[in-house]
Amino acid sequence: MEFQLDKTLKADSLLMGHFKLSYLLLMNDSNYPWFTLVPRRPEMTEIYQLCEEDQKLLWQESKILSRVIMDYFSGEKLNIAAIGNIVSQLHMHHVVRFKHDVSWPKPIWGQLPMSRYADDNARSIMSAISERLELEGFCTLD
């Protein structure tokens, strides 16, 4: 079976590119700096279902992404989650949090409706993060 990005993830995010294993998405919600890694493996719903090599690769991709977004946004806390209650396709959220953000200290889910980025703001963020990830030399972004 061929991998296809879940329709909800596709509708709620902007595709930035890909790492060796995962698509990199910017969630289209300007309330929070929110990125998602989606391993390009069909029918996966949980991390433990990935082979050991893919598990290691996912954690490496997560580590690089985490460092870059925390540095860029000067975050106070990083929330990483692979919940999947609504979208079962395996995906890992990376949300930069601040004590002054609109949902602090609660989780972001269910707090506010999504507030889509203005096109210029999304392009600016995606460009800045892509540049920093490429400098890491770890990823291939397209």
Full 3-state SS string of 49-80: HCCHHHHHHHHHHHHHHHHHHHHHHCCCEEEE
pLDDT at 136: 78
Sheet (strand 77-81) strand order:
13-18, 22-27, 34-39, 92-97, 77-81
Give the mean pLDDT of 97-119. 94
* Predicted pLDDT at 135: 86
pLDDT tens figures, 38-92: 999 999 999 999 999 999 999 999 999 999 999 999 999 999 999 999 999 999 9
pLDDT at 29 over 80: yes
Confidence of residue 1 (pLDDT cuts 50, 70, 90): confident
Would you state the pLDDT for residue 140?
58
